[in-house]
Chain A
Amino acid sequence: MAELSPGRRRRPQRPLSPHIQIYTPLINMVVSILHRITGAALYLGTLLLAWWLIAAATGPDYFNYVSGIFGSLPGRLVLAGYTWALLHHMLGGLRHFLWDLGFGYDLKTIDQLSWGSILLSLVSTAVVWACVSLKAGGV
């Protein structure tokens, strides 16, 4: 602990800066938070990719076992969430590239980009899973 100067035995009671619960949730704030959350989720989700690759490299028996887990209802729910997180984070990244390049800073465009990335991430996730269902012959 740093020594307090004479006459300042206690830290002065300064007001704390308001935290997120104080603000009205605006859509750009929501997608910004989602960008971080999906990023952290994808971080852990790489374990699924590593597991899948290891299963394929191990042999047919273990691969079938792991495929069974991924193909189960809870497995598919996790993978659907993983797909959405990946696509949402990807679209968020593209939105940030746009801002990095100096475009899209007026409030209307920010709102449109924010809603757009939510909408597009949901639609593209649905499209991917529709393709998977058709490919795998029914969910």
Chain B
Amino acid sequence: MQMRTPLKTARNLGSAKEGADHFWKQRVTGVANAMLGLFFVWLVASLAGADHATVKKSISNPIHAIALLALIVSGTIHMRLGMQTIIEDYVRSDGAKIVLLMLNTFFAMTVALISIFAILKLSFGA
């Protein structure tokens, strides 16, 4: 007997009510990270051994600053989703899982905010 109403198919979200949201966000940020990551490697390699003034000038270059900001936003979303999967795979108890998932979000947010603040200070600060 068919127990499901057509509404489930229409909403297309599955039991977690998120559908492919996690999967898709991981792919979109992954594509962004692949491009921005190559820029990041180039930027840091080009600044190897450089003094403070050179580094400050390079990071506060608008194109560099915006690309770095994009990498940080995309990267921290990506790593939060990835670590969420690792936690959900390996942590059995619900209590520990909830705490770790929350800490995961806090960690990603902290890294993002610290980095964004630093880039903005280098760009606009004295």
Contact = CB atoms under 8 A, between A and B. Distances in A.
A79 to B, nearest CB: 9
Nearest to A137: B49
A122 interface: no
Contacts of B118: 50, 53-54, 56-57
Interface stretch (B6-14, B27-35, B94-102): B27-35
Interface residues of A, number: 33
Interface residues of B, number: 36
Interface in A75-98: 83, 86-87, 90, 93-94, 96-97
A44 to B, nearest CB: 9
Interface of A: 36, 39-40, 42-43, 46-47, 49-50, 53-54, 56-57, 59-60, 63-64, 71, 83, 86-87, 90, 93-94, 96-97, 100, 128, 131-132, 135-137
* The 4 nearest A-B residue pairs measured at CB: A136-B49, A53-B118, A57-B118, A60-B52
